[in-house]
Structure 1
Amino acid sequence: MSPHSGATLRLWKQLQDLKDQKQKIVLDGNNLDIASIIAVARHEVKPTITTDEHVAKQLELSVNTLADYLAHKYVVYGVNTGFGGSADTRTSDVLDLQIHLLQHTQSAIITAADKDPASNSEREPSHVMPPAWVRGAIVARANQNLRGHSAVRLCVLQSLVDLLHHDITPMIPLRGTISASGDLMPMSYIAGTIAGNPDVFVQVGKGKGARVIPAPEALKESGLSPSGLGPKEALGLINGTAPSVAAGCLVLYDAQQLALLSQMLTAFASECMGGNVEWAQPFIHAARPHTGQIEAASNIRRFLKGSQFVDGLESRKRTGEGLWQDRYSTRTAPQWIGPYLEDLLLAQHQLEVELNSTSDNPLVNPTEQGGGEVYSGGNFQAVVVTSAMDKTRLALQMIGRMLWSQVSEIIGPHTNNGLEANLNPSDHENYTMKGIDVNMSAYMSELAALAHPVSAHVMSAEMHNQGINSLALISARRTMEAADLVAHMSACHIYVSCQAVEMRANHLRFLSALQDRLQDATPTGALRDLGLNESQVDSLAKTLYPLVESTWYHWNANTWKDRMPKTVDAVVAPVTEYLATNEHECSMSSLIAFKKHFQNIVQSTAEAMFYPSPTITPAEVAAQLGDGSAQLYTWVRSKLNIPLHCGLKDDPLYNARQGLPTEDKKTIGSRVSAVYEGLFKGGMMDMVLDGLDTGRGYS
């Protein structure tokens, strides 16, 4: 398995094992992974804290080391000093100081509508983080604090994990952190929850039964007690990168899969356009041996294996007319995607290290003999997460830009190699996929605007103490938006490609039938009225068929009906030339009869195969597709029951006005929405990754 595909598959398999309870999530400060964050955040998997005595002892030593420092009346930042730019103040009220910390950081906006979603009929945007982000932050912070450098007691960390076990999710404002001294504001609401702050609210439960209530009430209902916070425990809980790294893990997991999907969609696009895919040959990429480029080309070849719609891999195209090499959006896809596969792997590594790092300040370095030290530093500076997210977001933008170009080319009659404009399969003018073309541009414009690095927009903060700050959570939030946009674009690509490849298959079936009739020397053949013998029929047919094919594909600006007269007219001159060259006598009436007969053949063959007649079956199409696109196409046609869209007659309003049934009629938006919902929530990516894991479908 290639590096990026292998990493993506390993994350997915780990998650499946966690969901199926084949593995447990045991927090020990050193072994938390991205799959575990996803399992807790999205799939209700419950973590536990290790029972390893060494971990408990390390936590105890860190608490005792801090107590020893205070007994010596040493100055410890955030324990007996003020915070940030106010660290020149001193206090002996060390417990109240921790409440001071929570008091000034619990300062962001949560609205009444956020606390009562049922009353938000106007659908005002949420001001709070999605619960999955919060659950991820809780498990990440517990794990980081378990490393024993934060002077946080085991019982306090158990209180964090207890929230997960009782489905208590603190409501955290979406905005207000610059991820400088870690994500102080978001974590302060989590710390306020376990401390029992009456004005910190939590969501209890999920779905229709979810309630938003004050934290003390939720703790009491669950049989939990508020945690008192020791001399550094509020600071130890909130002064860290957990919200940023958790959100980063969630979006990176999706981005890795979208990157893999984009390679499958590139193969699909090539099939839609009947491409010459020799650009995927191993030799080309071995000659420029970047790891990501080689992997992308290898995957695309794997996904194209068995395809009857492309040339250049299992068969070579040596002669012919038309555009000889594919356009950049497919031909240079390995070179376009490849560098970003490498970036995504680096981003994954950065997040995995951060999950098992100590990211607060000050840090306690305890020793079993006593006399440990406390150091002030800057491990809370979450630039490593910003770096991972900015890279991931740029990768998503580059992937989206490629998908945008591919979809535009598939829909456009001047670039799609002979398919009808707007992918209209009907017998009269329709604008079928034109709206998708516009939507893709809207998505792409928004995605491009998000691609700018968040790290370039740092503002000095907090009395200029936080003169540089990471903006990591903002970068993660923007990357979440970018991933969602690429999911939108991928859904459009899949829907359009299923439409296009089905039309391509139908055209190939039609042209094959015409070729058979041209080569038929019997009285039912297309050339019967010319008085030719069998060898002459064969010779003339070989001359005519390429012309029939190129003419048919050339006149694609309107409907399939508009192609027929052009195709018939195109053969008259070469037939006449052939007869004259070979000095074959043929009367004018015979030529007229030939043209009329050939016109009848073209018309009857087309009318039997193109809408509104039954078109080619999905099973026939799937059998001709490559190993990758066959999965996607079959999933859309069989799993989602989304058929070929045939224009106005598939529109629900049109049918309603005609007094026709509307039960199976949907807007194009509803169809694309079904694909979008199916990508992650409906199991499509699980299907793709399962095939990659088992080799099923990838011979």
Structure 2
Amino acid sequence: MRTISVDGQGLTPEAVAAAAAGGAKAALSREAEARVRESRNMVEELVAAGEIAYGVSTGFGKFSDVHISSHDTARLQINLIRSHACAVGNPLPADTVRAIMLLRANALAKGFSGIRPETLRLLIDCLNHDVLPVVPEQGSLGASGDLAPLSHVALVLMGEGEAFCRGERLPGAAALAKAGLRPIALQAKEGLALINGTQIMTAVGTLTYVKALRLARIADVIAALTLEGLRGIPDAFAEEVQLARPYPEQIGVARNLRALLRGSALTTRQGELRVQDAYSLRCLPQVHGATRQALDYARDKLSIEINAATDNPLLFLAEGKVVSGGNFHGQPIAFAMDLLKIGMSELANIAERRTERLVNPALSGGLPAFLSRDPGLGSGLMITQYVSASLVSENKVLAHPASVDSIPSSANQEDHVSMGTTSARHAAQVVANAAKVLAVELICAAEAAELRGADGLAPATRALYDRLRGAVKPVTEDRSLTGEIERVAAALLAGEWLGAVEAVAGPLY
């Protein structure tokens, strides 16, 4: 199994996704452990000297002006975790919790946080032994970081709270014991170091981005199959058209479409059946390309955030300084997730419009109404378009930017917050909905290809058609398609079929 070095600087979204899926172990690098130990020494020196430092010898938030005796610094951290662990809602999925733990460990490994090496190692050991804290999904404002949900992670390290271990939900102490691990007693600053950060929104956002990119890439293939089913015109994807408006992402999508449609006997030329296609076909490079721009922006911000120190205060060893700052503020990720969900909402929006063209006899160019083999007696795929329309409408509500809202907290000490975790959670819902919309389009496009003559498909789209037919048989008679839509959506999110297409078409953008 792959080992990921936790060093505070080398993580990628793909590595996070691998660890989240349980396909990698984490190991603290020697250099990082040395930095963490030096940082911890600085905290102990501050406590011994009785110096004032936020969260070490003071209360939290509005209580930052309340001095805490050195005799009470450990109790202060325990109280912090217990009081802040009040998140609500359904538990976050196992893959998300693994990502959260890896990202928090990576931030602490930078050596700015003052945690003890043994506390950090316990966090990594829990990840590697699959002791996964029960983390409710709601309750973060996204500034002072993700305090409430991250506190549920820290509770388990203390032997409190709840955790899943080998599929069983247990009290925190029992879960640790089952894995052969011992709880720790928090010391000065450690509770704050564990919870003051953006790891909930960043974990949700990173896994959402990875899935969104898979969907964006397979969406080009599905759209190409739809274009064949509608006898569409690939001329609009010509390279010279894209170079006249040289967005790299638009150029990349058009290049994909040309490769995917190479060898098709079902496409037409300008003027053969019609002069030009509707926008949902003709503007594929422009719309899908713009979504890729949004995803590129999200990746850039996530790549910085997963290797950032996002707690407060930060300890700077070379300067001998403890600085109260604002790196916990989730605004960069809030904006990135809001942009991602808008981009993915539009990817689903245009896919639903293509589905409508496939099932609407007034728009499909001779296909039977709703792709029914017995129109009237059989409804065919009529209601699948209803389902897509419902999901697209839901996405339009979810795409409202959470980052434009802020509610002051802690008696107005924390008077502007990001709502970044809400942005990330909504983005995850948008992506899940988009997968189902694309699954519906793929099922309808395959049915159209069946009716047109699948032998005329391009080799690349035929590869996707064949994979789809392994999961969804032709709809020759009316049947419930719920399970098939869900299974296809899951396959698209996992990126299961893209490799078969690229084996024929070559690497896709």
- Place the TM-score, normalised by the shorter chain, in its bin: over 0.9
2:228 to 271, 276, 279: 271
C-alpha displacement of 1:643: 2.4
Who is 1:84 aligned against?
A: 61
* Residue 297 (structure 1) aligns with: 254
Aligned counterparts, 1:392-541, within 5 A:
392-426=340-374, 429-505=377-453
Task: Using the TM superposition, give the Cα deviation of residue 687 of structure 1 relative to its aligned residue in structure 2, in angstroms.
Answer: 3.1
RMSD of the alignment, in Å?
A: 1.8
Alignment of 1:105-124 (within 5 A): 105-109=84-88
For this pair of structures, how many residues does the alignment match?
506
CA distance in 2, matches of 1:439, 1:343: 26
1:624 aligns with 2:456: yes
* Contact kept in structure 2, 1:431 and 1:647, CA below 8 Å: no
The match for 1:646 among 460, 476, 488 is 476
Instruction: Answer yes or no: is the 8 Å Cα contact 2:359–2:371 preserved in 1.
Output: yes
| Corresponding residue SS for 1:174 | strand
Report the alpha carbon displacement of residue 693 of structure 1 after superposing the two structures with TM: 7.1
Q: Which amino acid aligns with 1:257?
A: R
Q: What is the alpha-carbon distance in structure 2 between the residues aligned to residue 144 and residue 694 of structure 1?
A: 41
Superposed displacement of residue 430, structure 1: 2.1
SS of equivalent to 1:181: coil
Amino acid at match of 1:101: L
Measured in 2, the distance between the counterparts of 1:403 and 1:217 equals 48
Aligned residue runs from structure 1 range 357-376, under 5 A = 357-367=308-318, 372-376=320-324
Relative to the length of structure 2, the TM-score reads 0.95
What residue identity is the alignment partner of 2:17? I
Distance 1:78 1:311 in 2: 68
Instruction: After TM superposition, list the pairs within 5 Å mapping 1:308-319 onto structure 2.
Output: 308-312=265-269, 317=270, 319=271
Give the counterpart of 2:171 among 211, 214, 219: 214
Separation (CA, whole Å) in 2 of partners of 1:193 and 1:668? 42
* Structure 1: segments with no counterpart, 5+ residues: 1-20, 110-125, 506-620, 652-666
Residue 147 of structure 1 corresponds to 110
Aligned to 1:180: 143
SS of the residue aligned with 1:356? coil
How far is 1:425 from its partner?
Answer: 2.4
Q: After TM superposition, where is structure 1 displaced by more than 6 Å over at least 4 residues in a row?
A: none
Cα 1:89–1:697 change in 2 (3 A) is closer
Instruction: Please state how far the C-alpha of 1:244 moved relative to its aligned partner.
Output: 1.3
Contact residue 631 and residue 688 of structure 1 kept, 8 A: no
Mapped partners of 2:48, 2:3: distance in 1 = 41
> 1:163 and 2:126 equivalent?
yes
* 2:131 partner letter: I
Q: Percent identity?
A: 28
How far apart in 2 are the matches of 1:95 and 1:362? 17
Q: CA deviation at 1:645?
A: 1.1
Q: What is residue 80 of structure 2 aligned with on the other side?
A: 101
Identify if the C-alpha distance between structure 1 residues 147 and 427 changes in structure 2 by more than 3 Å, giving closer, same or farther. Answer: closer
Give the Cα–Cα distance (whole angstroms) in 2 for the partners of residues 427 and 215 of structure 1: 59
Residue 249 (structure 1) aligned with residue 206 (structure 2): yes
Larger RCO of the pair (alpha carbons < 8 Å, separation 6+): 2
What is the alpha-carbon distance in structure 2 between the residues aligned to residue 166 and residue 225 of structure 1?
Answer: 13
Quick check: 1:29 aligned with 2:32? no
Aligned equivalents of 1:220, 1:24: Cα separation in 2: 24
Native 8 Å contact 1:302 1:627 kept in 2: no
2:34 maps to 57
Deviation at 1:30, TM superposition (A): 0.9
Letter in 2 for 1:59: V
Q: Which moved more, 1:210-219 or 1:479-488?
A: 210-219
Q: How many angstroms does 1:289 deviate by? A: 0.9
The separation in 2 between residues aligned to 1:83 and 1:481, in whole angstroms, is 33
Structure showing greater Rg = 1
Whole-angstrom CA distance in 1 between matches of 2:61 and 2:445: 55
> Which among 185, 192, 208 is matched to residue 155 of structure 2?
192
In the alignment, structure 1 residue 635 sits paired with structure 2 residue 467: yes
Give me the whole-angstrom Cα distance separating, in 2, the residues matched to 1:691 and 1:31: 31
Deviation at 1:472, TM superposition (A): 1.4
Per the alignment, residue 165 of structure 2 pairs with 204
Query: What are the superposed Cα offsets for residues 575-621 of structure 1, whole Å, 9 maximum, x if unpaired?
Result: xxxxxxxxxxxxxxxxxxxxxxxxxxxxxxxxxxxxxxxxxxxxxx2
Tell me how far apart the structure 1 counterparts of residues 76 and 487 of structure 2 sit (CA, whole Å): 52
Where 2:24 maps in the other structure, the secondary structure is coil
Q: Deviations over 1:33-75 (max 9, x none)?
A: 111211121234221212x2x3222112111222223333221
The Cα shift of 1:690 comes to 5.8
**1:333 corresponds to which residue?**
284
**CA gap 1:401/1:272 in 2 versus in 1, 3 angstroms:** same
SS in 2 for 1:339: helix
Give the 3 Å change call, closer, same or farther, for CA 691–261 of structure 1 in structure 2.
closer
Cα distance in structure 2, aligned partners of 1:204 and 1:217: 9
User: Which of 653, 664, 671 is matched with 2:484 structurally?
Assistant: 671
> Residue 428 and residue 105 in structure 1: after superposition, are their counterparts in 2 closer, same or farther (change >3 A)?
closer
CA contact (8 A) 2:460 2:505 kept: no
User: Is the partner of 1:358 in helix, strand or coil?
Assistant: coil
Question: How far apart are the structure 2 equivalents of 1:669 and 1:57?
Answer: 54
Which consecutive unaligned segments of at least 5 residues does structure 2 have? none
The alpha-carbon deviation at position 256 of structure 1 amounts to: 0.6
Corresponding position of 2:497? 687
Other structure's SS at 1:87 match: helix
Q: Distance in 2 between matches of 1:33 and 1:84?
A: 32
Paired letter, 2:122: S
Per-residue Cα deviation, 1:20-43 (whole angstroms, up to 9, x for no partner): x4x421111111111121112123
